[in-house]
Amino acid sequence: MEVLISESYDEMSKAAAQVVAKTLNAKPNAVLGLATGSTPLSLYKELVRLHRNEGLDFSQVTTFNLDEYVGLTRNNPQSYHYFMHHNLFQYINIPAQNIYIPSGTTDNYEAFCQWYEQRIVDSGGIDLQILGIGTDGHIAFNEPSSSLGSRTRIKTLAQSTIEDNARFFDKPEDVPIYAITMGVGTILEADRILMLASGDNKAKAVAAAIEGPVTSMITASALQLHQDVICLVDSGAAAELTMTDYYRWIQDKQPGAPQTVPRPHFRKKSIVDRYLES
């Protein structure tokens, strides 16, 4: 894992946007996996800015969102459909038919989940998956005890997630209990993963995910099994990491650093590779 610590949420979001922009510049028809929640909001703002001011082109991009609440229609302001259109899609030039978000209102979830998985495969797989992390260490809605091999399916939300996400709803009892979510196994098949975390309320989950054992009780820890993960965290979210000196040292070490050995299966260069080359 490449752990990159930013001083602020803003800096973290801009660095994340650069990773997305470089991916699209290298592969204009890239497939992006997208996340919701407060964490990627500034990343999306920055992508909109790059689109408007620097011509970042989404015309060939395909996107797959991680998850959606069961029971919320796409027009419900708390739905992730609404979130994505409101915060990103309406401002960029992505064709509507290239946008995939799990349905919260299908009448056959099993068939839908299989179809969603197949659409990802048929699109060539996800090139870059953006993730946030829940305070319980979840990625997407893969709550503690989710199988690390899980696929897109319905999950029951943990009480702590319902409480965390209640801030977006009028009343806590309005938070849906179920969600449709990509599985941990689905996420791990992405070519590259970019996990973002901001704020000291995420510090425990981040430390467990990056430095703890791989366990289904912290589904983000499964990212340790992936060959190309960038964790972009701000100083609050980094507060409980024990190896911060090492991460910062790698991050800052540029002049005279040896070239990293190219990893043959990598299609894109990592942030650290670029730091070392600069």
* Residue numbers at the binding site for ligand GLP (CB under 6 A): 35-39, 66-67, 132-134, 140-141, 161, 165
Q: What are phi and psi of 245, to 5 degrees?
A: -60, -45
Q: Respond yes or no: is residue 107 known to be catalytic.
A: no
CB 234 within 8 A of CB 196: no
Q: Of 34 and 56, which CB lies nearer to ligand GLP in the complex structure? A: 34
Which amino acid appears at position 48 of this protein?
V
Q: Of 60 and 105, which CB lies nearer to ligand GLP in the complex structure? A: 105
Q: Of 10 and 273, which CB lies nearer to ligand GLP in the complex structure? A: 10
Q: Respond yes or no: is residue 68 known to be catalytic.
A: no
Closest approach of Cβ 202 to ligand GLP, in Å?
A: 7
Q: Which of 46, 68, 143, 234 is the catalytic position?
A: 143
Q: Which of 46, 117, 136, 191 is the catalytic position?
A: 136
Q: Which of 138, 164, 228, 234 is the catalytic position?
A: 138
Report the candidate in 74, 204, 211, 76 with the shortest Cα–Cα distance to residue 133.
204
Q: Of 9 and 276, which CB lies nearer to ligand GLP in the complex structure? A: 9
Closest approach of Cβ 38 to ligand GLP, in Å?
A: 4
Closest approach of Cβ 158 to ligand GLP, in Å?
A: 9
Q: Respond yes or no: is residue 136 known to be catalytic.
A: yes
Q: Which of 46, 67, 117, 164 is the catalytic position?
A: 67
Closest approach of Cβ 85 to ligand GLP, in Å?
A: 17
User: Which residues are marked as active site?
Assistant: 67, 136, 138, 143
